[in-house]
Amino acid sequence: MNQTVTSEQGRNLFAPLSEDEKNNEFIAVESKTYLQDAWAHFRKNKLALISLYFLLFMLLLAIFVPIFSPYSYYEQDLTMTNVLPCAAHPLGTDKFGRDIFVRIMYGARISLAVGFAAAFINLFIGVIYGGVCGYFGGRLDMVLMRFADIIYSIPSMLYVIMVMLVFGSNIFSVLLAISVSGWIGMARQVRTQVLSLKEREYAQAARVMGAGHWRILFQHLISNSIGPILVNMTLMVPEAIFTEAFLAFVGIGISIPQSSWGSMANEARSLLQSHPIQMLWPVLAISLTMLSLNFIGDGLNEALDPRKR
């Protein structure tokens, strides 16, 4: 009895396999979009991940601390000057009795806003300018890139100081000043990317299909350069933050009493001997923010560029 069963099974095993049972176009890899894949890689870089969380935390503090704090960035309390960190003033007060914590967070608003706004402006100009140069090439590329070279060849501090003098000390002139020459690096990078990508067969396939120039440029070329563009952008943010802080420090940036990390460092300079701790806070804020942005840039670079894994 037992034997018949096994031989029965044996015969079934040797029955032909139907076409439906074959699975010959099988793909085992789980489908992932580019960004999902990049995020999975980014997450593996602990330093970059911590930096990202730090920056988000900073952003939340910058938004909410000035709203909910009992102190404001400009209110002076001359009875409470140069207080050391305590329960009422977590980071102490400055020589006018203003709460340093609130001022740092208010400065963070300005620094981060300037940093990201400048990066976005440069992204916008740089991508279009570089994309057009790389895609159309030839004489247009020659003329446009030489023009960019000329702008780039003049020291950027010169523009900055000139713009500040003409338009006055406010956040918009700071942005304008940073953006005059800031987009050129981005434009160059996008141009190189587009130059090499436009020779790829998918770009040529799009041309053969009858796609227009703008479709090829944005849909195929720039979307495939998104990696280097994002990396370049994250590295542009700290540059802009630094420029803003520098301007405020030398006294031609955001006007008093608005606080900026640079102007706070400038004010603390006179008390460096007696209250060095007041210098510590703005410097710490600047360096931690810039450091974490650089780490994020590194992490993105690794996550977005398959060759660097």
Partner 1 sequence: MDSLLTVKNLSVDFQTDQGTVHAVRGISFDVKSGEILGIVGESGSGKSVTMYSIMGLLTDNAEIRCDQLEFQGVDINPTHFEDKKGYLAAMKKLRGCSMSMIFQDPMTFLNPTMRIGKQLCEPILNHTNLTKQQAMQRALELMALVGIPSPETRIRQYPFEFSGGMRQRIIIAIAMANNPLLMIADEPTTALDVTIQAQVLELIRTVSKQMQSSVILITHDLGVVASLCDRIHIMYGGKIVETGTDREIFYSPNHPYTAGLLSCIFDPREEHSELTPIQGSPPDLLSPPAGCPFVDRCEKAMKICKLKMPEYTQLSPTHSSACWLNELAKGGSEG
Partner 2 sequence: MNTADVILKVEDLKTYFYAGGGLFSQKKVIKAVDGVSLEIFRGETLGLVGESGCGKSTLGRTIVKLYEPAGGKIYFDGQDVTALQGPKLKQFRKDVQMIFQDPYASLDPRMTIGEILKEPMTIHELYQNDAQREQRAVELLRIVGLKPDHIRRYPHEFSGGQRQRISIARTLALDPKFIICDEPISALDVSIQAQIINLLKQIQEESGLSYLFVAHDLSMVKHISNRIAVMYLGHIMEIGDSHELYLHPMHPYSIALLSAVPIPDPVEGKQKHPEPIAGELPSPLNPPMGCPFSTRCPYADDRCKREMPALKEKNGRMIACFRVE
Contact residues toward partner 2 (CB under 8 A) are 25, 27, 29, 31-34, 200-202, 204-212, 215, 219-220, 223-224, 226
User: Which three-class secondary structure state does DSSP give residue 225?
Assistant: helix
Q: Distance of alpha carbon 162 from its chain centroid, rounded?
A: 27
Contact partner at residue 205 from partner 2, partner 1, none, CB < 5 to 8 Å by partner kind: partner 2
Cα–Cα distance between 260 and 111 in angstroms, integer?
A: 7
Shortest distance (Å) from residue 135 CB to partner 2: 15
CA distances to 4, 11, 14, 195 from 7, rounded to whole Å, are 5, 6, 11, 67
- Contact between 5 and partner 1 (CB under 8 A)? no
Shortest distance (Å) from residue 149 CB to partner 1: 30
Task: Rank residues 49 and 113 by Cβ distance to partner 1 and give the closer one.
Answer: 49
Q: Distance of alpha carbon 108 from its chain centroid, rounded?
A: 15
292 DSSP 8-state letter: H
Shortest distance (Å) from residue 196 CB to partner 2: 12
> What's the farthest any 2 CA atoms get from each other in the chain?
104
Task: Rank residues 22 and 146 by Cβ distance to partner 1 and give the closer one.
Answer: 22
Contact partner at residue 68 from partner 1, partner 2, none, CB < 5 to 8 Å by partner kind: none
Give, rounded to a whole angstrom, the gap between the first and last alpha carbons of the chain: 61
Binding mask 6-45 for partner 1 (x = CB under 8 A): ----x-xxxxxx---xxxxxxxxxx------x--xx----
Which H helix or E strand runs over 232?
helix 226-250
Answer for the pair 51, 295: CB distance below 8 angstroms, yes or no.
yes
Shortest distance (Å) from residue 3 CB to partner 1: 12
Contact partner at residue 166 from partner 2, partner 1, none, CB < 5 to 8 Å by partner kind: none
Task: Rank residues 38 and 52 by Cβ distance to partner 1 and give the closer one.
Answer: 38
Instruction: Give the position of tokens 């007060």.
Output: 93
- Contact between 150 and partner 1 (CB under 8 A)? no
Task: Rank residues 197 and 237 by Cβ distance to partner 2 and give the closer one.
Answer: 197
Shortest distance (Å) from residue 121 CB to partner 2: 25
Task: Rank residues 142 and 166 by Cβ distance to partner 2 and give the closer one.
Answer: 142
DSSP per residue over 74-139, as a string? S---TTSTTPPS-SSSTT-B-TT--BHHHHHHHHHHHHHHHHHHHHHHHHHHHHHHHHHHHHH-HH
Task: Rank residues 32 and 46 by Cβ distance to partner 1 and give the closer one.
Answer: 32
Q: Which residues bind partner 1 (CB under 8 A)?
A: 10, 12-17, 21-30, 37, 40-41
